[in-house]
Amino acid sequence: MLKAAGIATLLVAAATSAGAQEQVLNLYSARHYSTDEALYNNFTKATGIKINRVDADDAGILARLKAEGAASPADVILLVDAARLHKGEVDGLFRPVKSKVLEDSIPAQYRAATTPEGTAWFGFSTRARVVVYDKAKVKREDVDTYEELADPKNKGKVCLRSGSHPYNLSLFGAVTEHLGEQKAEAWLKGVVDNMARAPKGGDTDQIKAVGSGECQIAVTNTYYIARLLRSTAPEDKALMDKVAIVFPNQTSWGTHLNIAGGAVAKNSKNTAAAVKFLEYLASAEAQNYFANGNNEWPTAKGVKVNNPALTAMSGGGDFKTETIPLAAVGANQVKVQQMLDRVGFK
């Protein structure tokens, strides 16, 4: 991994050394999925625009943009969490754009609120945050809502990753939007009381903890489940035979979705190409790469999913999702972190 201090120089040099006729797009990406390479290659083939990519996590990218300021070479930013997209918008790191293609393709709930200047960011794929449970020890009806994660009947059964991880912050931000701050904090206290062990590990680790008997109930993003379902490794097949999946709150507000999305960097020197790249990500071709390559649901209107693992885990592909704007979920991040500190959720 290159040091931050050298990145701007590297990208500018790469762009400068390219031929005068060659267009270059500088991309800062938190998407660390090898299958995305096809996206970038196909965009270059279709447009002739070369992509120089720098990989980091969401927080690192936002910090780098702040540090680089007006000298930043970044043209496009790709992040994998609603809260971080919202933070980038609030911190003024994105350039709002006007694009009929994007506005027609991406539903309002999956993008930033549109202002007279334009729209700051767009979501291009989603992942549901679902419950995985030990089907030999837990009844489905005891875990079919997020609220039941805090129910005393599940005391000592729950395992989760850190409450401060963006995936959980977004889930908790959604619950806060649905329940209100007072009830959401009481719910978080109940979740802490029900934990089988201190939060640790990633989402796949939570699934494995259920399979090993360390706990009986966990929460995970769907693309981690899909990877295990598509795996040919015997241990993964054995694990998935032990657990069951439930999409929570199907009879109330629906299952929480988090989002991966993109924006044009505030100080982009190549805005037209940046917008063209975002428009490409909303195309049927690119949307199918999200679905088949990384097991994510597309956001663009009219795009059908053709991924057996996603179809199987969701009982045919259709499930009720929450409809609150993901921008509102991101806006709850600060108050959620304060609640986590008060209830002792590390």
For domain 4-125+259-308, the CATH class is alpha beta
Tell me which architecture the domain covering 126-255+321-343 has in CATH: 3-Layer(aba) Sandwich (3.40)
How many CA atoms does the CB half-sphere of 88 hold within 13 Å? 34
Whether the predicted pLDDT of 94 surpasses 80? yes
Q: Which of 265, 225, 271 is nearest to 245 (CA)?
A: 225
Coil/strand/helix, residue 37: helix
pLDDT score at 289: 86
Asked whether the beta carbons of 92 and 44 are under 8 A apart, the reply is no
CA dist 176 and 163 (Å) reads 14
pLDDT score at 148: 98
Asked whether the beta carbons of 168 and 221 are under 8 A apart, the reply is no
Spell out the residues 6+ positions from residue 292 whose beta carbon is closer than 8 angstroms to its own. 35, 306, 307
Q: Where are the domains of the chain?
A: 4-125+259-308, 126-255+321-343
Determine the average pLDDT of the residues in 323-339.
88
Q: Which of 37, 38, 41, 83 is nearest to 62 (CA)?
A: 83
End-to-end CA distance of the chain: 29
Determine the average pLDDT of the residues in 160-176.
94
Helices (H), 134-202: 166-179, 181-193
Bridge partners (DSSP) of residue 78 are 29, 262
Over residues 36-73, the pLDDT tens digits come to 888 899 999 999 999 999 999 999 999 999 999 999 99
Question: How many C-beta neighbours within 10 Å does residue 74 have?
Answer: 27
Prediction pTM value: 0.84
Whether the predicted pLDDT of 13 surpasses 70? no
- Residues forming the annotated binding site? 32, 223-224
CA dist 245 and 311 (Å) reads 13
User: What average pLDDT does the structure give for the chain?
Assistant: 90
Percent of the chain with pLDDT over 70: 93
pLDDT score at 302: 87
pLDDT score at 316: 62
Buried b / exposed e over 7-46, threshold 16 CB at 10 Å, is bbeebbeebeeeeeeebbbbbbbbbebeebeebbeebeee
Q: How confident is the model at residue 14 (pLDDT cuts 50, 70, 90)?
A: very low
CA dist 124 and 211 (Å) reads 32
Asked whether the beta carbons of 144 and 250 are under 8 A apart, the reply is yes
Spell out the residues 6+ positions from residue 226 whose beta carbon is closer than 8 angstroms to its own. 295, 307, 309, 310, 313
Q: How confident is the model at residue 317 (pLDDT cuts 50, 70, 90)?
A: low
pLDDT score at 294: 84
Over residues 103-145, the pLDDT tens digits come to 999 999 899 999 999 999 999 999 999 999 999 999 999 999 9
> Same CATH topology for 4-125+259-308 and 126-255+321-343?
yes
Q: How confident is the model at residue 15 (pLDDT cuts 50, 70, 90)?
A: very low
Asked whether the beta carbons of 280 and 43 are under 8 A apart, the reply is yes
- Residues forming the annotated binding site for Fe cation? 32, 223-224
Of 1-10, 143-152, 245-254, the least confident: 1-10
Asked whether the beta carbons of 201 and 214 are under 8 A apart, the reply is no
